[in-house]
Each structure stands twice: as C-alpha cells, then as structure tokens.
Amino acid sequence: MATLAHPEATDTLLFGEGSAPALLRHTWIQTQRLLTRWVRDPVTLLETLVVPCLLLLMLDIVVGSQIEKFSGHSALYGSTPMVTLVGALSGTVASGVMLGREREAGILARFWVLPVHRASGLAARIIAEGIRIFAGTVVIICFGMAIGFRFRRGPWQALAFLGIPVLFGLAFATMVTAIAVFTAKAALVEAVALLSSLLMFFSTGFVPLAAYPKWIQPVVEHQPMSVAVDTMRALAAGGPVAGPLIKTIVWSLGLIIVFAVPAAYGYRRASRA
C-alpha cells in the first residue's frame, strides 16, 4: 500500500531552500546585493565606465585620424567595439578581486551556513556580471555615438552588437572566478588584467591588421578580442559576419567549458572553508 508524503515534507521539497522557487528568489536577492555593492564601489565604476570612455576619447584624438587615412574608414568602428570589450574585462577583473576579498573575509562561508540555495551565489554572480557588462556597453556606445560612432545597419544587428561583449565578458568572468576562488592573492587576478591589456594592444581594434608586422599578423587576426572586434565592426558598419562570429562563439564557449567546472568547484570549496 502506497504511503502519502507528510505535508510538511512536501512543503519543504517544493518551497524549501533547495527548491526551484528558492533558487529564483535567493538568486535575485544576491544579484541585487552584488549590483548594489558594485555601484557603490568606486574602483568597479572607474574600471567599467570612466576608464573605457576616456580610453576611447584618447584613441580617437591621438590615432583616429592616422588610422582613418591608413584604412580609409573611421577608426571608431574598430576602437569602439574594442573599448566595450576592454570595459567588460576590466570590470570583471575588479569583480574578481572583490570576490577574493569576500573569500578572505569569510563572507562566502557565512552564506553557506544560512538557509540559502547552494547554487544561488554563483548564479547571482553570472547574472550580475551580465547586467553590469550590458549596462557598461550601453554607456560606452552612447559615448562613442557622441563622438561619431553610428550603427549603419538595422536594429537586429545593433542588438547583436550589444550581445557580443556580454558573451565575451561572461566567458572571461568564468576564468577570473575560477582563479579568484582558488587563491587569496589578488596579484593573480590582476595578472589577468595584464593579459587583457596585451589582447587590446595586439588586436584589430587598436590598429588595422595590415599595420602589424607580418610575422605576428596570424596571432593578431585570430586572437579572441580581434575576432570579437571584427564581428562587432561588421554588425555596425557592414561586412562579413559569419566567420568572425563563429570564431567569437568558439573562443567564448571554449573558455566557459574549460573554466566552468573549476569555478563551480572552487566557489563551493571557498564557501565551505
């Protein structure tokens, strides 16, 4: 004879801390916590909004005219996509440093002993990163449009343009999270910032591919930031989209596949420490 589950056990299964409604509710609460903290953190705002806009202005003033003479088109169609990606990566590094500090301070461990869904912490970070990157991209694009950048194609291409930094930034954030939860040293996370700088200076968004020495052109052409910049340039100004878009997706999914499991394991390990 089948036995009926106790009503309290059923309520716990459906609405307890391990339930789907709890995951949604707790993820939203922690997402709000992260966004509020980032908004109040001057370093994150500086890295995400102020520095990229100043960088875009500097590039347009210093090398914009030379690149336009060399390539025959406005440098903003390369520098604006590149700066949106740099803003996404810089903000991700700042978030990684903050995550490392929360780990050292024991904040992650405190959340672990509370009646909170175990997956909500990492899920909230992913959602908050996506919101932060999208908002930062919109601000940088508005600044770029104020100095001459324009979308020459349709609204769907413009929407896809805004989605590329989010995909690219989330892939990079997965890597930074994996590093931050396995080490208490912010220097390792900051080393990733050096990597992002190298990607910027050796990308097709900084100067046209033909301006680099021939021996390094294959590396510049196929590195992750270059293919993302080429995709965004094509979406904004026209040109082949499929090739660079496929490469961007492959690079982004590759980073997520490689670092997702270490990030999830490390986050759980750091929370239980």
Q: What are the tens digits of pLDDT across the range 186-228?
A: 566 667 778 888 999 999 999 889 889 999 999 999 999 999 9
pLDDT of residue 184: 58
Angle at 124 between CA 122 and CA 130, to 5 degrees: 110
- 9 within some domain: no
pLDDT value for 14: 47
Q: Is residue 15 part of a domain?
A: no
73: left (phi over 0), alpha (psi -120 to 50) or beta: beta
Q: Would you state the pLDDT for residue 71?
A: 73
Tokens of 109: 């461990």
Q: Could you give the CA distance from residue 273 to residue 189 in angstroms, rounded to a whole number?
A: 20
> What is the domain count for the chain?
1
Exposure of 22 in the CB half-sphere (CA atoms within 13 A): 15
Dihedral sign, CA of 73, 205, 238, 240? Answer: positive
- Answer whether residue 14 is part of any domain: no
Whether 209 is covered by a domain: the verdict is no
- What is the structure's pLDDT at 235? 95
- Could you tell me the pTM of the whole model? 0.87
Residue-number span of the structural domain to which 129 is assigned: 25-32+40-203+220-271
Residue ranges of the chain with per-residue pLDDT less than 70 = 1-18, 184-190, 273
On whether residue 4 sits in a domain, the answer given is: no
How confident is the model at residue 72, as a pLDDT?
Answer: 74
User: In the structure, how many helices (H) and strands (E) does the chain have?
Assistant: 13, 0
Residue 137 in any domain: the answer is yes
Question: Does residue 208 fall inside a structural domain?
Answer: no
Domain assignment of residue 211, yes or no: no
Write down the pLDDT at residue 133.
Answer: 92
